[in-house]
Structures are given as C-alpha cells and as structure tokens.
Structure 1
Amino acid sequence: MNEALPTTLDAWLARLEAAHPVGIDLGLERVAEVARRMGLLADRLAGRVITVAGTNGKGSTVALLEALARAHGLTTATYTSPHLIRYNERLRLDGAEADDATLIAGFEAVETARLAGDPVSLTYFEVGTLGALWAISQRPPDLAILEVGLGGRLDAVNVIDPDVAVVTTVAQDHAAFLGTDLEQIGREKAGIMRPGRPAVLGSTTLPASVREVAEALGAPVYALGEAYAWDPTLPDPGLPLDNAATALQALSLAGVTLEAEACRRALSEVCLPGRMQWWGQWCLDVGHNPHAAGYLADRLRASPGCGRTLALLAMLGDKDAPGVIAALAPVVDGWVAASLTGERARSADELAEHLEEQGERVLHRAASPGQAAAWLASRLEAEDRVLVCGSFFTVGEVLQWLASHARPGQTDTDESSREVAP
C-alpha cells in the first residue's frame, strides 16, 4: 500500500527532514536523474537564467537582481536558501513568496518522479530545489534567478544551465564539505559556469582559479574593477555596492537594456531581511563567517554610535567562531552568547569560552537567541545598539521576538523606530 502523502507544508517539511540519511550529500547524479524524469532538463526553465554562487553576497545579489528586473517590467522567479522564518521565503514568484499550495505541488511532483523507476533518495535541500524548479517551470518567467546553496559544481541548483553565471566572493566556509584551500573553493564555485556563456566575477579579490575555470570553458569574463564598476551617481541600496554593480552587469548580460530611472527606483526600494536590517536599536545580519563579519565591522565602524555596541551572537558548531569574534571584536563593547539547538548546535558556554580566550567581555549566556534578546532588551540604554549575528537561525528567532514585542503598529520599516543603517 502506498504511503499517504502529507497534506500540509509543515508535514511535508518534517517528512523531508527525515527522509535522507544525511542532511548534505553533494553530487548531481541523483538530482539530475529526478530532474530528467520531471522534464526539467528538456525545456528552458525561463527566458533567461542567472545563477549566483559565492561565499558571501549571494542573497544581496539575488535581491538586487529581482528588484532591478521587476523595475524593468520583467516577470521573475527567485530561488534562495536558507530561510529566516518561513520556508515560503525560498521561492518568490513575481516578487511574492510562494504559497503553501505551490510548494506542496512541487514536492508532490518530485515524489512522483523519484519513485517513477528505481527509487532515488534525495536530501531536504534537493527536494526543495527540484520542487521550486518545477513550480517555476509551470509558469516560465522572463528571468529566473537561482542561488546556489553550497559550493556550486555539485549543488542541486547546478542541474540547470544558466545564461549568466555570477560568483560574488570566495572565502572559507563549510570547510567540512569545501575544504580550506581557497583555490579549490574557487574552482567549486566556478562550476556553475558554462562554455561560451558570460561569467560575472563580483569581487576584486577572487582566487585565480575562478577566472581560470572561465577561460578554460571559453566563458567571457566580466570582472569587477575591469569590465564594470559601481556608478556613484546611483542611489545607495543599503546593500554591498559591489553586489549592486554585479547585479547590474549580470542583468545587462542577460539581455536587459538598463534604464536609469528604473535602476534608481529599484535601488532605492530594494530590501533584504537579515542583511544589515535595522529595527530600532537592533541591527540584524546573518553573517556567519569571518569574511562577512569583517564587512559588518567595517559598516559599524563607519558610523560609530554614541553609546555601547553590544553583540548577540549564536552560531552553529561547524562555523569559525574564533574568526568571527576576532573580526567583530574591535567594534563590540560587550557580548551576549546564546545557544542554538539541533545536530549542528553550539552552546552559549562554548561560545563564551571562545570570547573569553580572546579577552572579550561576556555579559550573559542565554539558552536561546530569543532569551538573549529579552535579557538585552531590559538592559539597553537609549544610545546603545545591538548587533545580532552568527546564523540565519539566530536572526530569524530574534526577528520573531522583536515582532512579538513591538509597540502596536510598529514594524521594522517604521522610520520612527529605525536607526539609519551605517
């Protein structure tokens, strides 16, 4: 007897989390087989496809691409990961999060295909990716923007051939899967490139291997600082300017004739939760590696506050906590360490040990990011500011805590409750 399929999104997600023996299982053979059965490899997914890989800056670049494309009148689909609060955040169709029914239909299509022949075991991320691609294929947009989850060459997103490949940055992260050799990490991320199709290099400090892969494929290279640069006459989008310039270059290479007014409108309105997002005294950023932490420190240093800068830090156990702490320490006056839960969890006590080893002042240890936020909120002075960082889980939980404790009618977009982002 066939097992009844779940009927709610939460039930589907619980099923997917338990379905594969490991959470991350890099490789395209299984995913490509199911994608072939689903018909995803037979026809174009969209009018144009831009795939974005990189250690940091992927989410910002995707958000900028979406905003710019929509400002130019294009229909869009974006696939990103992970999510902050709701799984639905991962798939956006014409600027709106996919509803539960759309996601469930995608999961059902994947389940049917993976059992149509020899059963294929897929990870949570692989099913989510294939389900999102199927949903996009049901209403092919002018532009599909796909964010790589991890690496590039062996990531499930890479079953789709992009028209334009973007590599934002290369730094150490996910060392257990990608190693610590930046040249090798660069080759993995450059694995999204295709012969003869444009490759956009979004950093001036990429390892040489990224360009070497492009040149070996005969992919035309458009590098930041060489083929393009940021135009200072454009509005600052509040996201890294290198990523904004990269998005403009990639969109142009995807065949869009850029219009100055549409670009200005998109850059003025773009918003990406969890990236230098200010809610009153609180700055929330999902940065979780030393490269991202260095960027955060630079932004905070550029706009020093009048009071203390306190950090609420919670990180997964496989992340470089000492490196993140070292990058942020020059701009932080005191720390609250919080525990995360799950198989990759790191405790507040372990984080506090790393902080104290570097001579940092630990104000409190909390059982969760939400409890840390509550402890801090009762002790903040008017001129203090709080940096919340270390993980998507950290930022997501604190965002929910802030929303539940906001004044009636107050949101993170309330100008009266926002600090100007540094």
Structure 2
Amino acid sequence: MSNVALPTTLEAWLARLEAAHPVGIDLGLDRVAEVARRMGLLARPIAGRVITVAGTNGKGSTVAMLEALARAHGLTTATYTSPHLIRYNERLRLDGQEASDAILMAGFAAVEAARLDGEPVSLTYFEVGTLGALWAMAQRPADIALLEVGLGGRLDAVNIIDPDVAVVTTVAQDHAAFLGTDLEQIGREKAGILRPGRPAVLGSRELPASVRQVAAELGAPVFALGDDFRWDDSLPDPGLPLDNAATALKALELAGVALDPAACRRALTEVRLPGRMQWLGQWCLDVGHNPHAARYLAERLAAVPCAGRTWALLAMLGDKDADGVIAALAPAVDGWVTASLAGERARRADDLAERLAGQGAAVAHRGGSPREAAAWLAERLAPEDRVLVCGSFFTVGEVLEWLAQRTSAGQTDQDTGGSEEAR
C-alpha cells in the first residue's frame, strides 16, 4: 500500500478523487469489479433486498419515493444516488439521513486500500464514490438498498451488484457522446441492469422494444406500466411524476413488501425531492436537462396558469441538447435569462442566447453564473411572476444555495411557503 498520507477532510478527499483518473467518465466494469472483489463486496449481499433504478429521466423521483415508501413500512434503507445538488453527502442516505463525512471518508479509505492491494487499479471519481457507498452499506446491511444508475446501465459502476428487482423508468436521448442517439441501443444499455429470472419493472408506456427484448433474452419477468400496473385518481399526488410513483409501488411489492394503503398514502404525501419541481416562493427549480424532461416541465407549468410572466433561467452543459430543451420549454415561457456554467463541459450564456434567438426568442439578460443571473432577475420580478430554473444539476444547486443565503439574510419573496402551483 502507498505511504502517501490520506486526506483528513471530505473536501480534500473529493479534490484528490477528481484529479486521480485521466477522464471523468470511463465506462466499463472490469476495474471497478476487481476492486469490489478485493473489498469483499461481491461475496455477500449488501442488503436484504436490492432495487436498482436506471432510466434517462425519473430515476431520482422513483428512488425518492421508494425510500419514502420503504421507511413508511418500517424498513431500514440505504440509498445511493447521483449527482448531488449542494453537498456530496446527499449521494448516500442511511435510514433517510445523509451520510456523515466520517462514513464517506472511511469508505474512500477502504477503496484506496483495496485498489492498491496488488496491481494498482485506476478508478474514476464516480467509481470510487460508488464503491465507497457500497462499502458503507455493507457495514450494516439495511432491509432494502436502493441504487440509482449514474449513466447508462450495463457498464455503470452500480451494476456490479445484482439487483433483486430492476427498474427502467424512461428511455430518451441524453449523454449522446457515451450512449449514442439510437433509442433502441440506449434501451439495451439501460436494460443492462436486468438479471435472469428477476423482476423487471418498466415505468413508461413508451420504451423502445429493445428493453423487452433484453428481458426476454434473460428470462426476466416483465411488469410494465399500462399493462401490468397503472395508477388512477386514488393515488396521492406526491408532486412528482405519477408514473414514477406507480413504478415505485410495484417495485417495492415485487421486492417482497406487503403494501399497506395507509403507509403508502402517508409516504407519497410527505415525500420531498430537492430540485424536482421544487417551489420556493416564486421560484421553481428542476434539474431537467434534456428535451424529454423539458416537455414534462412545460406541461406542468401550462397546467397552472400564471397571472404574471413565466421566466426561465437556463444554464446547461455543452454536451446537452440545448436546442431541443429550448423548443420544449418555449410554449410555457414568456421571458428568458441565460447563464454560463463553469468547467470543461460548460456552455456559455452567449451560446444559449444565440440558440434562443434562432428560435425567435429574446433574452433579457446573460449572466456570468446562475447565481448572478438569479440576482439580476430577482430585482425585476413582479409579485405575480414565476421563475423556472433548469438545465443542469449545477444550475439548480447554485441557485438553491443563493436562495438559501438570500432567505437567511432576510431578502425573502412575499410567499416563502411555496406558490399555489406547489400546493
């Protein structure tokens, strides 16, 4: 093992992980599976039951509802999601609580020891984070572990763990540089989390045929929304997609949980997920960053008329389909503000403004950052206006922090309890 001293803070660990691997995304399971074997993660179950969730959109919502439902039924839970909005600790939740710095650092240290135990193995930031989270889960196995796929499915690091139930929420174009633009191929990648003989829950009525084909090849029994389960008006509205709510209920049932109607209603009524149609006063924040998600956002906004103007504060990464997102949002938006993001993958505010102009939309302001754009817009909002903040986890995370600081400084909107749309 290396004699290099290990970091003593979570921030230092994260900085080290970001610099350790030559590329940020390196799809494949050989390296991460080798380190997992050295850590003993593949020798025993990490939880009583494991549910893995893949999909282009709706993964986070589905996992949040699965966690809430399981806890409402008295079950212990361990939940791994990505990315985070503000704090890395958000990625690992143990019994509904964010993991402490100490737990995360212990996981990173266990990964570091294993990857250097023999021929050194190079791991990405996400792979170390995933292995560290799995190690933390294995220290005290919960009744149910919930794993959200980061990208794709078949070659994603979480796929080293065999799920008892696999969920595919939606399939649409995103991450084209890694997954391509062929929906059938993308569907096959997402379906890579399915296992022989184990239930596959399909959470959309519009999945490509390849998902069912993979299930058939594996002999995985399929439970599809619209065919084998559905929702109706009796289902409580959690403020998240109802398709995802029904999917979560079915997945939990297939994991062996006897669903109690009262517990289900309570869980779905109380569940909260930051950054997904999250209303804070006049501000609605959603991490949607592809056309499929943008269409859902536009539909939700259009369903509740606004007495004033609907603004969009848009900031996106350079590898996302900005033109498609703009086209999907445009029918529900009256005014636009663009902002630049930082980093190698960032897209500039000017680029977004040019794309908006190409679709006949004017931009009121181009911000150097989401925070700056939000501050500019806040000074000009009428009381009856509303703002949709979207385009990236980075965008929403930065504006959430700004709103929190603004609230603590006493610069709150007139209605900090949430707008009528939220209720």
Which TM-score applies when normalising by structure 2? 0.98
Where does residue 121 of structure 1 map in the other structure?
122
Where does residue 272 of structure 2 map in the other structure?
271
**Percent of aligned positions that are identical:** 81
Aligned-pair CA distance for 1:407? 5.7
Aligned-pair CA distance for 1:406? 1.1
Where does residue 243 of structure 1 map in the other structure?
244
Aligned-pair CA distance for 1:234? 2.4
Where does residue 391 of structure 1 map in the other structure?
392
Q: CA RMSD in A?
A: 1.3
Letter paired with 1:132: A
Q: Does 1:190 align with 2:186?
A: no
Aligned-pair CA distance for 1:417? 4.4
Aligned-pair CA distance for 1:304? 1.3
Where does residue 286 of structure 1 map in the other structure?
287
Contact persistence 2:84–2:393 (CA under 8 A) = yes
Q: How does 1:4-403 map to 2 (within 5 A)?
A: 4-403=5-404
Aligned-pair CA distance for 1:98? 0.2
Letter paired with 1:375: W
Aligned-pair CA distance for 1:337? 0.5
CA distance in 2, matches of 1:387, 1:320: 18
Aligned-pair CA distance for 1:419? 3.6
Which TM-score applies when normalising by structure 1? 0.98
Contact persistence 2:280–2:416 (CA under 8 A) = no
| Distance verdict in 2 for CA 1:213–1:411, change over 3 Å | farther
Letter paired with 2:161: I
Contact persistence 1:279–1:419 (CA under 8 A) = no
Letter paired with 2:197: G
CA distance in 2, matches of 1:20, 1:408: 40
Letter paired with 2:246: A
CA distance in 1, matches of 2:417, 2:235: 26
Aligned-pair CA distance for 1:410? 9.3
Report SS of the residue matched to 2:47. Answer: coil
Contact persistence 2:304–2:421 (CA under 8 A) = no
- Dislocated runs of 4+, deviation >2 Å: 407-412, 414-422
CA distance in 2, matches of 1:257, 1:49: 16
Please, which runs of 5 or more residues in structure 2 have no aligned partner?
Answer: none
Letter paired with 1:169: T
Aligned length: 421
Per-residue deviation, residues 282-323 of structure 1 (Å, max 9, x unmatched): 000000000000000000011110100000000000000000
CA distance in 1, matches of 2:420, 2:373: 21
CA distance in 2, matches of 1:374, 1:43: 51
Please, which runs of 5 or more residues in structure 1 have no aligned partner?
Answer: none
Per-residue deviation, residues 183-209 of structure 1 (Å, max 9, x unmatched): 000000000000000000000000000
Per-residue deviation, residues 197-245 of structure 1 (Å, max 9, x unmatched): 0000000000000000001100000000011001421211100000000
Contact persistence 1:281–1:418 (CA under 8 A) = yes
CA distance in 2, matches of 1:230, 1:125: 35
Aligned-pair CA distance for 1:411? 8.9
Aligned-pair CA distance for 1:51? 0.1
Letter paired with 1:341: A
CA distance in 1, matches of 2:11, 2:232: 44
CA distance in 2, matches of 1:289, 1:125: 21
Contact persistence 2:280–2:417 (CA under 8 A) = no
